[in-house]
Structure 1
Amino acid sequence: MEKQDSELKYLRAKTRVEKLKAFYTHLTVYFVINTVITAVKVMNNIHNGETYNEAFFDFSTVASWLVWGVGLALHAFSVFGLPLILGDDWEARKIEEYMNDELQQHKSSK
């Protein structure tokens, strides 16, 4: 039983690290891609005769930051905020619940 408990703790920790790693990857890609998009749009707008301020603060320039930012915020909430609301052991409780349900179905089918 103790070995199973330590394995379960390890799997939970591994899952949390994988979710954190995925979020940091998403965050890095967000900044890199949006920086490139912004630079290209600003240079293009300046080439078309706009001033730097007009080009930089144009809605189409910042739209990708905003739209993608909403998705990034939701991802951050799922990694950092959801465990605060549901509790750290929510995942373990759900796994146990599904395992118990399956056990009950298996017993009743015999």
Structure 2
Amino acid sequence: MEIVMENFSQEKYKRAKKRVDELKGFYIHLAVYIVINTFILLNIYMHTDNFWRWEHFITLMAWGFGLMFHGSRVFGVNPFLGKDWEERQIKKYIEEDKEEMNKFK
């Protein structure tokens, strides 16, 4: 029984560590996004007469979409497939496999 509890604790620790690593990765991505885009926009602002042109914000927007998708994956928000979509798909395929296995018995 002690071995089972130890394995359970190790699995729990691994899942928690993975989650913390995902969060840390997102926050690092966010920090780099802010620093780099601030530098780019300040550089453009200081060296051009017309700052408010859409071309100056392409990097900000494109990278922002990537950051948004990264955040949605890390925080479990999926506006396209719903909250439980992945879990439902896993259960569906497990049930299909069970049915296939029962056919051969």
User: What TM-score, normalized by structure 1, do the two folds share?
Assistant: 0.66
Which structure 2 residue ranges, 5 or more long, are not aligned?
Answer: 95-105
Paired with 1:11 and 1:80, the residues of 2 have a C-alpha distance of 18
- Going from structure 1 to structure 2, the CA distance change for 1:11 and 1:26 (only over 3 Å counts) comes to same
1:48-101 Cα offsets, whole Å, 9 max, x none, are xx2xxx31x2112211110000000010011002598249xx6xx8xxx9xxxx
Aligned length: 82
Aligned to 2:39: 36
Deviation (angstroms), 1:42: 1.3
**1:7 corresponds to:** 10
Cα RMSD after superposing both structures: 2.3
Identity of aligned residues (%): 37
Q: Give, as a single letter, the amino acid of the residue that structure 1 aligns with 2:10.
A: E
Structure with the larger helix share: 1
Deviating above 3 A after TM superposition, structure 1's stretches of 4 or more consecutive aligned residues are none
Question: How many angstroms apart in 1 are the aligned matches of 2:15 and 2:77?
Answer: 15
Gaps (5+ residues) in structure 1?
Answer: 98-110
Equivalences for 1:1-110 in 2 at 5 Å?
Answer: 1-45=4-48, 50=49, 54-55=50-51, 57-82=52-77, 85-86=83-84
* Equivalent position SS for 1:9: helix
- In 2, the alpha carbon distance for the partners of 1:24 and 1:63 equals 22
Contact conserved, 1:42 with 1:61, CA < 8 A, in 2?
A: no
**Corresponding position of 2:102:** none
CA deviation map 1:15-66 (0-9, x unaligned): 0000000000000000000000001111111xxxx2xxx31x2112211110
